[in-house]
Amino acid sequence: MSNARVTPQMWVRRIVSSILLIAVVAALILGGVKGYGALHKRLSAHQEKVSSTNVNLPVSIAQCRGANLEVTTQFDPSVAPVGSGTKVDVTVTNRGSEECSLETADVQVSLLSGEQVIWSPTLCSETWDRQLLLGAAKSWQGTLSWNGGLYDECQSLTGGDEETQLIADEGTYQLRVALLGEKTAPDRQLLVTY
């Protein structure tokens, strides 16, 4: 084995090399931090510019025209026992070539005995009143439930004891639909039997 001696000159080289290595690493770290800061500042300025130019503009959608709408109804069941009522499915279809908006309140459904309205759910139901967006050739369907009782506008009619609701007698009743104030298709008939 040879006994190698470390000369003072080697110590100086090692110390200078270590100092240079530490200086290079420190310069890299400092450069990375400054580069990240500059990039972050640039991105923040860009984000602020984008945010300030992004204005929420309202979207204008045309009101549906009656000529472009079709309203159909269906009873479920179409023959109902006295006092049991029925469900009425109402479908509104946009036959136009563009989307449009419609308030469901513009679709009035009434059940009549002769010319007397005995049930008018679309005037009274809070869940019926909503804004619809109908795409071209698209439909919306809603269901109304009649309990078989008699109503005067939104109030159920009661008997002499003021607690028992009067019910519709046996007979044929007409379901009338009006869209935007205009009667649509012919009345549908509902048969109430014993």
The predicted structure's pLDDT at residue 192 = 93
Q: Say whether 47 sits in a helix, a strand or coil.
A: helix
**144 Cβ partners below 8 Å, 6+ apart?**
87, 88, 90, 109, 121, 122, 125, 128
Read off the tokens for 80.
């109902």
Best CA proximity match to 155, nearest among 181, 116, 118, 185 = 118
Identify the helix (H) or strand (E) that includes residue 99: none
Confidence of residue 184 (pLDDT cuts 50, 70, 90): confident
For the ranges 80-84, 108-112, 152-156, 173-177, the lowest mean pLDDT is seen at 152-156
- 110 and 175 in contact (C-beta within 8 Å)? yes
Read off the tokens for 58.
């309202």
For 102-132, b/e burial (b = at least 16 CB within 10 A) is: bebebbbbbbbbeeeebbbbbbebeebeeeb
Give percent of the chain with pLDDT exceeding 90: 43
The pTM score is 0.66
User: Whole-number mean pLDDT of the chain?
Assistant: 87
Best CA proximity match to 54, nearest among 62, 46, 65, 66 = 46
The predicted structure's pLDDT at residue 137 = 93
Give percent of the chain with pLDDT exceeding 70: 95
Rounded distance between C-alpha atoms, residue 82 and residue 187, angstroms: 20
- 177 and 121 in contact (C-beta within 8 Å)? no
Rounded distance between C-alpha atoms, residue 142 and residue 121, angstroms: 12
The predicted structure's pLDDT at residue 66 = 87
Identify the helix (H) or strand (E) that includes residue 129: none
